[in-house]
Amino acid sequence: MANVVVVGAQWGDEGKGKIVDWLSNEADVVVRFQGGHNAGHTLVVDGKVFKLALLPSGIVRGKLSVIGNGVVVDPHHLIDEIAKIETQGIVVSPDTLAIAENVTLILPLHRELDAHRESAMASGVQIGTTKRGIGPAYEDKVGRRAIRLSDLAEPDTLDEKIARLLAHHEPLRRGLGLEPVTAQAIRDDLLAVAPKILPFMRATWDHLETLRRDGKRILFEGAQGALLDVDQGTYPLVTWSNRVAAIAATGSGLGPKAIGYVLGIAKAYTTRVGGGPFPTELHDEIGQLIGDRGHEYGVNTGRRRRCGWFDAVLVRQTVKTSGIDGIALTKLDILDGFETIKVCTGYRLDGRLIERFPASQAAQARVEPVYETIEGWSGTTANARSWADLPAQAIKYVRRIEELIGAPVALLSTSPERDDTILVHNPFRD
């Protein structure tokens, strides 16, 4: 039985929350291994909507949910998110939630710095950060000056760690014209949240390895998408950490042998939030229609997503960089009723035909999509739960995507509801 890693195969917002929730029925534990609370996951269970940002999706099913060391944690947001989901009837306790003792904490000064930087940028070069402090927290992690969860359990050591942190931030804040922050304010804030989050602290890497050796099924839940990966994405308009499947090992504290099946999530079209290249973006009424039908607004930010046709070049590239074994294709129903549908099969760059997305930012801005036009379907795919429920032309569309990206469709999602899913291959069993 393979442990399963779920990664976004596009720029995020592919519907990972529903797929992870669906798969968690087969899992014993669900692990978040990177990112922060900037990526929202929406789950719809029996008509009830759960919106998660930091908590792993398995928490809704009462499965052991782990926040791994690769995540950066805003303790205030975590406390608020736990309180909110408990009002919806979900029990969150140390039996169902474990947080790695070595996670980096997002502090108020990180949020303030993040917001100032983004606001100060010219509109044409803004990354589109959610201004939640994720980036600056990762910077401090790499700079070896971060405050980690385990530090809260040793308050006598905090003064030295805060001094090291402020040795970097004080001159930076002065240069940016930001108000100074005191060591005492940081210390008081940390000690106030400590009693609320320390009960969840655990040596998660050790516990996960024990579970793995015992044959428990582990589901690794990725956030955002591989095209936002700091190495493999559309740099510099990317997120602050790695998003490809390999990071599931380092972000959870397990070795690479812990990864079995890699499931990529992709929409039947393409969306992106914030700035950055988007070769198949539609600026017309079709793009508007797709966005309206798909309710393409950020879960956490409410920002409207940019919409375009399915880009097989980008997904094919992600299949290779993440080692994807199968794809969960989501939101096929949004394309119901289109007479024709376009799929990007390649690009033209300075008059040359290429079949990959270039690394150069300038070249990424110049590529022009090469489309293949596919006949649409008049019937509905919404709420379908078997291939027999799908129009023949919709099946042809799915099969053509498989050919173009070089990976099979393992799951097909036809609505936000948990059970409106067509299973082709079970990643845990097949």
Bridge partners of 44, per DSSP, are 49, 417
How buried is 407 (Cβ within 10 angstroms: 0-12 exposed, 13-18 middle, 19+ buried)? buried
Determine contact, residues 357/313, Cβ cutoff 8 Å.
yes
Q: Cite the DSSP H helix spans in 235-311.
A: 247-250, 285-293
**Residue whose C-alpha is closest to residue 97's, from 198, 168, 5:** 198
Helix, strand, coil share (%) of the chain residues, nearest 5: 40, 20, 40
d(CA 427, CA 262): 8
Contacts of 252 (CB under 8 A, 6+ apart): 31, 33, 66, 68, 69, 70, 204, 205, 208, 220, 258
Would you tell me how many other CB atoms lie within 10 Å of the CB of residue 205? 18
Token pair for 359: 């690394």
Put residue 390 in one of left, alpha, beta given phi > 0 → left and psi -120 to 50 → alpha: beta
| Residue 284 is a catalytic residue | no
| Residue 13 is a catalytic residue | yes
When computed from its CA atoms, the radius of gyration of the chain, rounded to whole angstroms, is 22
How buried is 70 (Cβ within 10 angstroms: 0-12 exposed, 13-18 middle, 19+ buried)? buried
d(CA 227, CA 222): 13
Cα–Cα separations (whole angstroms), residue 51 to 211, 301, 354: 28, 12, 40
Residue 97 host element (H or E): strand 97-100
With tokens 């498989």, the residue in question is: 402
d(CA 138, CA 146): 8
Determine contact, residues 57/31, Cβ cutoff 8 Å.
no
Q: Which of 37, 41, 76, 77 is catalytic?
A: 41
Query: What positions carry a catalytic annotation?
Result: 13, 41
